[in-house]
Chain A
């Protein structure tokens, strides 16, 4: 069957009443959690993953699609009204969006973000549907050595290519890779680094690590801060609707953002923020009102928001077709698939086609629901933003432990006569790790990606070496692998060069952008 037929079948599955309800529940929960300050899409997905455990795989993934898109939408609301973006991809939205809100144009800023997200999501999801089968076809020609090279490329791009220090990025990645060794080796059944503790034999749960690093690490970081940042939630005054002028200026920005964001997300390059930065730069260059930039230009919200959503849909291309997560959110989604014994990759498309296509179709459905639901409900989401910090973080931690217990509630530890949950102990330990990482400027996402991608890359490496009977030259003997290694080397060295040369200029720019 061709792509169109498969997608139509998927849509038929997605609009069954039960599945629509799952999507609705996912979208609502995702937005509600995503809108809370300090909670980005990755944490939203990690916190809500346990909610979907008891559903069947299709229902669960449909709800998941809703949570994913809802969380993204919620994040942009927060950054426009609060100017404390929960995720790096929203930084650019906060730049112009918050300025607009300060001028009493919060409504149109939220509207252009919502409609832009919808249009970008729509185009990008269709692009995903049409690109994915091609990638699957290409991926079927990949051998284990090529897969390993691809994962090395992903490792480099998520850890070293972006961010302010390659050293700290790669260190974060290796911490994740090290954690990935813990547990039973799948190929030989031998225990590794488990120190005789039975709970460690299953390895470290990706969701536990993500929730610990993002939720508990963040809570500790905020709690420890001595300078109390003043945060004011800006009221949405006046009409939510955009003027004719706003529409005219937003349209081209939405489309440009989409076409910048999707390819960047679809490449195994990682990070939605790069697309948003490019889009912001493009809008600033092309705008007829360059003087408004920095003062609340609507293009500066419309473009990056569209790019953000398009690249989020784009990250599903490597995730679904190659099993390659390139963002923390995608890593947690991969863990969600593994929960059901599904391994994303070319085989998933052939063996589980209905499931994949109903997932893609429910992305379209979730996208439409967000648009219909969220513009009228903006008032409600703004209320969520005004929850005082003590209640907010007390609630976040209660939910974080709830999710962890939901995934593994066994009281397997013992302290004297008191039974306790070993999973909660791991949660606390990694929470403290997350706090230290934040404090010293280490990025968090590479740890999560290292944990889930490490064992997968080891599997491919060993497969490749087993075929060649231990000859390491097999790793660089195919043209695909060589090309991927060259790209990885460029991705590692070029930013290094820029950092060495352009550091002064960049810092100056940062200083002048402060208000």
Chain B
């Protein structure tokens, strides 16, 4: 059984059709990269998989770990092991990071029939993660993403991912807005999640993230469809030649 199986997915927002028949299979242990020019539907795909209101799925199906993903509430998707890493993580002043981390971990543990994690064990785990992401402990007591730099927000996304240990991480342009040091830290974080029982989908514009997190598969999304798939060499080809030639060849 695949971890994620997207079949002929069509979606629109209002009258605007954005996804026009996406097919994608992700198995446990695999890292996929989805690339594509602006407006190709990358972010919409992430939002639809995350369960964002406002998008209407008109055709197709998505199976996640044997479940009909599209029928699930956003929080149930998370509790089933899907993590959406945001391109623009929203600021929530007043809600402390540490509180968000604890609430989300406990919500997910509860959904899996586990008890709440003991506070000391939790704090120990969180402190180690903060250190590994080269962040300061003080960050735990700041409002969620409030006043964070772009790089801090993305590191925060990866930190949450590492704490929650999702079966499938769907990371929407996690590399955008990162300087080279932050890119390395974030990439190391993603690589730590890699494992035979997990899948990772990287949505990105650029090849540079993929030199740190090597994908098993690369897909090119264009006008709401995956028009070409290949291995990591496809990303390199894209980097060298640009989208234009590949789009021409594919059409």
* A and B together in one complex: no
Binding site for B on A (CB under 8 A): none
Binding site for A on B (CB under 8 A): none
